[in-house]
Structure 1
Amino acid sequence: MSEFNLINELENRDLISHISNKDNLNKLIQKHSISLYCGFDPTEESLHIGHLLPLITLKRFQIAGHKPIVLIGGATSLIGDPSFKEKERVFHSNYTVNIWTEKIRKQISYFLDFNGLENSALILNNKSWFNKINILSFLRDIGKYFSINTMINRSAVKQRIQRSDQGISFTEFSYNLLQAYDFFILHKQYQVQLQIGGSDQWGNISSGLNLIHRKSKQEVYGLTVPLLIQSNGIKFGKTELGTVWLDADKTSPYKFYQFWMNIEDSNVYYFLKIFTFVDILEINDREQKKHINNNIINDKSFLAKNITRFVHGEKQLLAVERITEFLFFKNIIDIQESDLKQLQQDGIPSINIDKIKDLQEALVLSSLARSRTQAQNMIISNSISINTKRINENRIFNEYDKLFGKFTLLSRGKKNHCLLCW
């Protein structure tokens, strides 16, 4: 192994929320390549940006020479983790979970290296062992190592028990045993020595540490990354308009990019530390110079580009840059039909157009104007443009207004847009 100290790197990037026996773990990974894992339950058809930190942390370990294992919870997703949940999850069928599992498996394969080298990443599904389990054997051989007193006092359980409107079912209560058993099986069959996860998983991870120690007399380790909560108390990645997904079909790369462009200025350098692989010295230098020529805006763009490239790749980042040039800098030359389809998906408001009389009617239908009179005043005042070109009179749309025969960008001023889809 190299002299690079990964634990120090994670600490310098504020990426460690909890860690068990840090000194021993540090010595272990300095001398040996280890296997580690992180679990993802397929409770939706895509991961979202709340999953990025553990994924990136797995990537950091792999770059340092360790073997990452992704455990997809095809079985545990049928139960539902009560951590950070105010009420029980909606249960989904085996059929649905299997479809989501395959989609997430393909999604995760993009983020880690599966090239067949010694520390090549591996994806497993815990259904492979839970489908074979005998309930009586499980309760006798595993359940006896769990104290009800301890389980009740875990924050995920306690906050639900103390609520009069939402209790906790035995189904959810048992989740802690199942995740601990995952760690036990992975340690036994794949020599996994470390589990990572969000900080809300510390109770479940601790149970796995304890189970392995009591059954196998072996020391294994746990590490959690921060669970990011927004100022409104909602988990990071949830917005008023919904979740920011990693799947381009659910959240377009352009909208994904804009999410990062719209974060609070106070988070820019912290997010550069935890979400990117940019050298920490460069990040600190950027932060020191943030007030020079309003550099923080450029650094926010630097952050957005880095994360968009990591999640969606260079090709989609170039598409995002073309769209940005089109909308904000009136550069229409390089725009592509696929870029406009991104805008139609979720980038800006859009409306389907069949037949409209004229520009005034389009402004009203697109909600850029409240009435034809207001629309006419906007046109006269030279604040309306079609495909970035200023229009100073009401007129009927023609075929030249339809980009690729399908789209027209209607704008009021610099920031208010609507895509007309013919």
Structure 2
Amino acid sequence: MTDVLDELHWRGLVAQSTDEAALREALAAGPVTYYCGFDPTAPSLHHGHLVQLILLRHLQQAGHRAVALVGGATGMIGDPRESGERTLNTKEVVAEWTERLKAQVSRFLDFEGDNPAVLVNNLDWIDGISAIDLLRDIGKHYRLGTMLAKDTVARRLRSEDGISFTEFSYQILQGIDFLELYRRHSVTLQTGGNDQWGNLLSGVELVRKSEGSAVHALTTPLITKADGTKFGKTEGGAVWLAPDLMSPYAFYQFWLNQADDDVVRFLKIFTFRSRVEIEELEREVAERPFARVAQRTLAEDVTTLVHGAEATAAVIAASQALFGRGELGGLDADTLAGATEELPRATVQVGGAVLDAFVDSGLVPSRGAGRRAISEGGAYVNNVKVTDEDAVLTADQLLQGRYAILRRGKKTLAVAVAE
């Protein structure tokens, strides 16, 4: 076994652990069976969950045994927010989202071979616990002072809204998960984000009190940008891993647009590039920042990890084709839709004036400005220069029967969408 803990530290994937010396010894003696939980409180995982999935994969590749938990039970309640109660979803919605998350998690771990991962749903054991059993067998191990002192609970208690007994009890359910996985699969390590530290300790303490055994918790840092601002916010909200909530094209562009000050750190966290490769990319950032080699590597690796090589190749081809460095006609409908969803747009009809499409999309402020752009050779439809001020859109110009890419100059884009 290699010292995977040193590797995780180098990559910036360690924030806190219950007893690092003991954990290091256990990992070295290995294999350790470990788990991380993912609650279906939304129809998709996001970039924050991606950190945990990558950590699980690093540990599995180092020879340790992965258990991935999707919280069909805990997802019905949800971890308490910093402020305000969650809206509880129906059992049917939670069940649907549980299946979606299972499919997403399954992409990141190896469920075959000599060291297969295990995928579990905590509804399988929590659903059968009666109220009496919960109070007698589990509740007796919890002390209210400890539960009330947890950061999120304490903040909520000081707020006007307070906290319901439902959300207050979430930490008990997460503790039950660790206990059950310890009993069922010999799990001795739980991982999670640093904001989950209190919930992880709930499980550590429950196993200790109930079974008399010492187990471990390990958290990853909350990811921020170099300027201290929150990482992962976009105009559309979170950086979702599901393609129906965030297209592979938009996902790729998010990673491509990372700043020079952040990209090397993100390569360590979000990719499996070796130290030698990352050090070389760090030199590229220092010596040739304009080439953005590190950003392109980051975007390609993370998009391939989440969406697969085929989807990544399609979005790279789309990125190049939009600016005249590739063939637009070869792009499929989903890739075109993703590549154009954030572009200014005009609704058009076959036979409508190209000039009107440029004006309606906002590429030019007026018909006169549009005529000047055409006469100066700076107007394009599908990367073909427009030379006639009276040109109209034809059916064969509509990509996938619907889209025409409008461009003014080298970099200013819009899309015409047929009704």
Q: Same fold (TM over 0.5)?
A: yes
Q: TM-score normalized by structure 2?
A: 0.93
2:372 counterpart of 1:377: yes
**1:156 shift after superposition:** 1.0
Alignment of 1:386 with 2:381, yes or no, is yes
TM-fit CA distance, 1:379:
2.7
Give 1:15-34 correspondences, 5 Å limit: 15-34=13-32
Q: In the aligned structure 2, how far is the partner of 1:237 from the partner of 1:279?
A: 24
Say whether 1:137 aligns with 2:116: no
The aligned residue for residue 87 of structure 2 is: 90
Structure 1 counterpart of 2:245: 250
* Counterparts of residues 194-273 of structure 1 (less than 5 Å): 194-229=189-224, 236-273=231-268
Which residue type is aligned with residue 4 of structure 2?
Answer: L
Do the aligned residues in 2 keep the contact of 1:381 with 1:392 (CA within 8 Å)? no
How many Å apart are 1:404 and its aligned residue?
Answer: 4.0
CA distance in 2, matches of 1:373, 1:342: 32
> Are the counterparts in 2 of residues 13 and 280 from structure 1 also a CA contact under 8 Å?
no
Mapped to 1, the partners of 2:75 and 2:224 lie a distance apart of: 23
8 Å CA contact 1:212, 1:219 repeated in 2? yes
Instruction: Identify the residue that residue 405 of structure 2 maps to in structure 1.
Output: 409
Whether the 8 Å CA contact 2:23–2:216 is kept in 1: the answer is yes
What is the SS of the residue equivalent to 1:315? Answer: helix
| Cα deviation, residue 392, structure 1 | 3.7
- Residue in structure 2 matching 1:359, options 354, 358, 366: 354
Q: What is the match of residue 72 of structure 2?
A: 74
CA contact (8 A) 2:319 2:339 kept: no
SS of aligned partner of 1:39: strand
Match for residue 335 of structure 1?
330
1:152-203 alpha-carbon deviations (Å, 9 max, x no partner)? 2211112222223x32111111111110111111111111010001110101
How far apart, CA to CA, are the structure 1 residues paired with 2:309 and 2:352?
41
Deviation at 1:18, TM superposition (A): 0.7
Contact 2:379 2:408 in 1 (8 A): yes
Kindly tell me: are residues 193 and 118 of structure 1, through their superposed partners in 2, closer, same or farther at Cα, counting changes over 3 Å?
farther
Structure 1 residues 169 and 234: alpha-carbon distance in aligned structure 2, compared to 1, 3 A threshold: farther
Distance change in 2, residues 1:91/1:330 (3 Å)? same
Structure-2 separation of matches of 1:364 and 1:289: 41
CA distance in 2, matches of 1:209, 1:291: 44
The answer to whether the 8 Å contact 2:346/2:415 transfers is yes
Aligned to 1:55: 53
By how many angstroms is 1:111 displaced? Answer: 1.2
Q: State how far apart, in whole Å, the 2-side matches of 1:411 and 1:128 are.
A: 55
The percent of aligned pairs where both chains have the same amino acid is 37
Does residue 421 in structure 1 map to residue 417 in structure 2? yes
Classify 1:234/1:355 alpha carbon distance in 2 versus 1 (closer, same or farther; 3 Å): farther
Q: Is contact 1:33–1:66 with CA below 8 Å preserved after alignment?
A: yes
Corresponding residue SS for 1:222 = strand
1:47 partner SS = coil
Structure-2 change in CA distance of 1:66 and 1:145 (3 Å): same
Q: How does 1:96-107 map to 2 (within 5 A)?
A: 96-107=93-104
Q: How many pairs align?
A: 416
Q: CA contact under 8 A between 1:50 and 1:235: conserved in structure 2?
A: no
Unpaired segments ≥5 residues, structure 2: none
Judging changes above 3 Å, is the alpha-carbon distance between structure 1 residues 284 and 296 closer, same or farther for their aligned structure 2 residues?
Answer: farther
Q: Are 1:399 and 2:383 counterparts?
A: no
**Does structure 2 retain, via aligned residues, the 8 Å contact 1:289–1:295?**
no
Q: Is the 8 A contact 2:343 2:413 kept in 1?
A: yes
- CA distance in 2 between counterparts of 1:378 and 1:40 reads 52
CA separation of 1:333 and 1:251: change in aligned 2, threshold 3 A = closer
How many angstroms does 1:142 deviate by?
Answer: 1.3
Q: 1:231 to 1:88 in 2, by over 3 A?
A: farther
For 1:257, give the aligned amino acid.
Y
The reply on whether 1:320 has 2:315 as its aligned counterpart is: yes
After superposition, give the CA deviation of every residue in 1:255-314 in whole Å (9 maximum; x if it has no partner): 111000112221100001111111123212332442223366111111111111111111
Secondary structure of 1:291 counterpart = helix
Q: Which among 111, 116, 120 is matched to residue 114 of structure 1?
A: 111
CA shift for structure 1 position 341? 3.4
Change (3 A) 1:334 1:378: closer
Q: Secondary structure of the equivalent of 1:30? A: helix
CA distance in 1, matches of 2:220, 2:18: 13
Q: Give the TM-score normalised by structure 1.
A: 0.93
Question: In the alignment, residue 181 of structure 2 is paired with which amino acid?
Answer: L
- Are 1:147 and 2:143 matched, yes or no? yes
Matching of residue 179 in structure 1 with residue 174 in structure 2: yes
- RMSD value over aligned CA atoms? 2.0
For residues 109 and 347 of structure 2, what CA distance do their matches in structure 1 show?
40
Q: Contact 1:343 / 1:419 at 8 angstroms: preserved in 2? A: no
Structure 1, 307-316 or 150-159: larger mean CA deviation: 150-159
Paired position in structure 2 for 1:159:
155
The change in CA–CA distance for 1:324 and 1:121 in structure 2 (over 3 A counts) is same
Cα pair distance change 1:349/1:335, threshold 3 Å = farther
Which of 25, 43, 51 is residue 41 of structure 2 equivalent to? 43
Distance (whole Å) between structure 1 residues aligned to residue 234 and residue 401 of structure 2: 34
Q: Would the alpha carbon gap of residues 288 and 403 (structure 1) be closer, same or farther in structure 2, given more than 3 Å must change?
A: closer
